[in-house]
Amino acid sequence: MVSLKRNRKNLGKRNRYSNGLMAEINVTPFVDVMLVLLIIFMVAAPLLTVGVPVELPKTAATPLPNEQEEPLTITLTEDGSLWLQKSEIQFDELETKLRSILVERNNNKIFLRADGANSYEIVMRLMGALNNSGFNNIGLVTDTGGPTFNGGF
């Protein structure tokens, strides 16, 4: 008789997993949508910042110099002629010309393009002149596709 009482007691109650429906909220899609919205707002927010429209006054002051200077290049050709940018220059005029250019520039970087037929001595003399002029940040310009150094010649 005791077993019948228990069965009658549990007749009205259902097991919470018996019908397959879940009453809990699945949070994963919600979090996914929130993260996508967060990324969209983070990308779009800097684009939306617009300054207040004002009429700026005119001035006679010189504008700030351009941060990006044209790279200074010196070229030594196969026949020994020396070119500073696109103008030919004599070797004895080089240091004075470079010193005057250095005063106007923000950096002391110069690119050296020397023909491979030139001797090591001439290239080193030129690099010494560049260094004496104040250009001690010398970049050597080469072409790609040359042989690799594998420990021997």
Q: Residue 84: beta bridge partners?
A: 74, 87
CATH label of the domain that carries residue 89:
3.30.420.270
Let me know if residue 8 belongs to a domain: no
pLDDT digits (tens, 9 = 90+) for 14-28: 555 556 666 778 889
Query: Is the model's pLDDT at 2 over the cut of 80?
Result: no
Let me know if residue 153 belongs to a domain: no
Query: Is the model's pLDDT at 32 over the cut of 90?
Result: yes
pLDDT digits (tens, 9 = 90+) for 42-96: 888 877 655 556 555 666 666 655 556 678 889 888 888 898 988 889 988 999 9
Let me know if residue 43 belongs to a domain: no
Alpha-carbon distance of 20 to 115, in angstroms, equals: 82
* CA-based nearest residue to 77, from 112, 128, 127: 112
Let me know if residue 13 belongs to a domain: no
Q: State the total domains in the chain.
A: 1
Let me know if residue 65 belongs to a domain: no
pLDDT band for 37, please (50, 70, 90 cuts).
very high
With a CB cutoff of 8 Å and minimum separation 6, the contacts of 112 are 73, 74, 76, 123, 126, 127, 130, 138, 139, 140, 141
pLDDT digits (tens, 9 = 90+) for 106-137: 888 998 888 888 888 998 999 999 999 999 89
Q: Residue 138: beta bridge partners?
A: 110
Query: Is the model's pLDDT at 4 over the cut of 70?
Result: no
Please check whether residue 115 is in contact with residue 85, taking contact to mean a CB–CB distance below 8 angstroms: no
Let me know if residue 131 belongs to a domain: yes
pLDDT score recorded for residue 22 = 66
What is the β-pairing status of strands 109-114 and 87-89? unpaired
Q: Domain range for residue 124?
A: 72-140
Let me know if residue 21 belongs to a domain: no
pLDDT score recorded for residue 98 = 92
pLDDT score recorded for residue 136 = 87
pLDDT score recorded for residue 113 = 87
pLDDT band for 99, please (50, 70, 90 cuts).
very high
* CA-based nearest residue to 127, from 143, 145, 139, 142: 139
